[in-house]
A and B are shown apart, each in its own frame.
Chain A
């Protein structure tokens, strides 16, 4: 960076027989890791979920809390000194954009790391300006951090790490929670930062295609917690392709062994099961996000709802699902769906909604209500007042189907991201709703979970369930996009109605 006289150079990383075990577990998540990363080298770290990739990154950044989080063995060195001993040598960007914003204003947030390192005030603000410039965040210093998009928040976190002038930049699935434009933003910012600083770089990510052009080495961990492969990207991806695919890694160019629904064309004549007429949607009264929407869900079809961030896709889905009250117009269910009830889903009782429209939330943790996986799945049968035998039969069936039976006694909050997603789907499926609405069901999922989920949803649609999925995932749309609703930005008034619904 220009004017960065005190900048430290890129660092050397060395692991010797390093291992990590999470607190309370018997198995070492990582073990016997021998790894040398030269100064300025750029590494993509791959491995199945739960293989301890994040633990390695956290240990390099020195943020492993202490004995209550787990224990390590072997040695992990940065420029010959114990990792974590010298603060500020490594900068870490985490997965969740919301959890890394520390302060209320952009400038203060970036300055936070410098303050902690004892950087003098004038130099701090100079570094803040440089860091914001490097990540391409052209915003006033007092811009509220709460008003940033996901991609901007990740770039802010990158700037915050960068201002500490780290010789090692560590990214832990930095784009898993972002839409495609956010992913592109963050990737471009990282590329620029690396060109300017020459820092040593390690990124953990199962979406290989995002980073493969930026790195010069791929290190893959196996499910046994040991090194599986190490070498130039093309070589590793080619030679260990099957093992990587089995580990859930999105190997670029690998075809997805799942086809588009065959009868998609035949279902075009389907009846509408749920319609929105001149719908105005919003989370709260008086806060209309979109108005004048006319949408229809075709019975027995799978519909994907796409569009840029903040355009009201989730809000529309929740409104169609009978969870949010329409702020204008109305949502009406077809007579077969409503049955003996009034047509407006928002006026149905919660219990009546269960067998008609099931909603899977974007954040699985928002919908968990019980203390074990089994109890979580039993919530709906209980609410439906099914007999004990019938209820447990159904619960067992979905638990087996979603490979959660071995976790029946676990607390939902302790599951991995993929397991949580499967549980959130299982808890909805158990009530056998005729319509299922999902909000970004594939966000951040590895390839194995993705395939499993998409196959399951396909089977459901083949069995006659109507599906609506809010998604940015093009591959998901390829398989399950019988119909497409594309919600365009609302300032484009002429096109305020979703396109594609009439086809």
Chain B
């Protein structure tokens, strides 16, 4: 996954933990207001910045299509069922399209994009090992927890193989004609059993390498933060501040608590 993602300018130099922090800084203010303008401003700036970092339209579609598809769907539900307000254009039973619901639909669509796109694009190329190093060394999360989780991520690839083999074996055992739901349910249970066994084997292997002892641990890879990290946080804060400021100035600011 990591190796197939294209390199991005600037973003790749930032510690994964900082990227996580920047995402929180950028999107939290956007979650506090429901108006189309703040989200639109943020989205516009984000698109320009990511384009500068090397995200081509093709890459954007390839890597974020689930978000590009789900945003309008979220908007559509608002269009039909959002709080009615102003002129009504069309109605059918509970569904009503009004001035208010149109505005809400636009606001929600743009907001999902403004929050979802940076979440996907900032983590295009995150190496789990690097993220774990950052979480343990920079964010000072407990090493045991972080490394345990990191070890587990490597098992995911094995589970994919297990799942495939189990699917074939169901057919070989004469129970492949059952409905999909029933088959998936029995396979999910079997996978769970396998996962626990693989997990305990991995735990033994990790323990055999001294994991979980009381000795203070060293880190073979240094996780550092520097100028690029500060810059990304500053950019995230600036984008958030600017988009909220524009909304307040234009009078569209509509906090969720109002």
Contact = CB atoms under 8 A, between A and B. Distances in A.
A118 B217 CA distance: 5
A421 B65 CA distance: 45
B126 to A, nearest CB: 12
Interface string B177-207: 1000000001000100110011001111111
Interface in A357-380: 358-359, 361, 363, 365-369, 379-380
Nearest to A123: B218
Contacts of B205: 94, 99-100, 102, 157
B213 interface: yes
Interface string A312-324: 0000001001111
A157 B205 CA distance: 9
Contact of B210 (A98, A100, A113, A383): A113
Contacts of A160: 209
B256 interface: no
B210 A379 contact: no
A283 B217 CA distance: 42
Nearest to A101: B154
B216 interface: yes
Contacts of A120: 218
Interface string A79-116: 00000000110011010101111111101100111111
A91 B151 CA distance: 19
A117 interface: yes
Interface stretch (A21-29, A194-202, A345-353, A485-493): A345-353
Nearest to A144: B3
A100 B200 CA distance: 11
Interface centre among B174, B175, B201 (most CB of A within 10 A): B174
A102 B209 contact: yes
Contacts of A119: 218
Given A124-B218, A146-B157, A380 B209 contact: no
Interface SS of chain B: helix, strand, loop or mixed? helix
A383 B210 CA distance: 49
A497 to B, nearest CB: 25
A351 B202 contact: no
A354 B201 CA distance: 33
A367 B201 contact: no
Given A114-B218, A116-B209, A119-B218, A358 B172 contact: yes
Given A94-B208, A283-B164, A413-B197, A115 B173 contact: no
B123 interface: no
Contacts of A96: 201
Contacts of B216: 118
A104 B171 contact: no
Interface string A247-279: 000000000000000000000000000000000
A387 B3 CA distance: 55
Interface size, A (range) = 35 or more
B15 to A, nearest CB: 17
A99 B202 contact: yes
Interface in B212-228: 212-213, 215-222
B221 A113 contact: no
Given A361-B165, A361-B169, A61 B208 contact: yes
Contact of B186 (A113, A369, A428): A369
Contacts of A128: 220
B177 A363 contact: no
A121 B164 CA distance: 40
A121 B218 contact: yes
B127 interface: yes
Contact of B215 (A117, A157, A321): A117
A36 B130 CA distance: 45
Of B128, B162, B209, most buried by chain A (CB within 10 Å of CB) is B209
A6 to B, nearest CB: 14
Contacts of A368: 190
A470 to B, nearest CB: 14
A96 B186 CA distance: 25
Contacts of A104: 127-129, 154
A92 B220 contact: no
B158 interface: yes
A164 interface: yes
B241 interface: no
A384 interface: yes
Contacts of A107: 220
A447 B151 CA distance: 35
B220 A115 contact: yes
Nearest to B211: A116
Nearest to A57: B208
Interface centre among B128, B172, B201, B204 (most CB of A within 10 A): B172
21 contacts: A62-B207, A65-B203, A87-B215, A105-B129, A114-B218, A116-B212, A116-B213, A121-B220, A121-B222, A128-B220, A146-B154, A164-B210, A350-B176, A351-B174, A361-B172, A367-B166, A368-B190, A369-B173, A369-B190, A413-B193, A413-B197
Given A108-B220, A116-B212, 12 more contacts: A58-B204, A87-B215, A104-B154, A113-B209, A119-B218, A283-B164, A351-B177, A353-B174, A354-B173, A363-B165, A366-B162, A369-B173
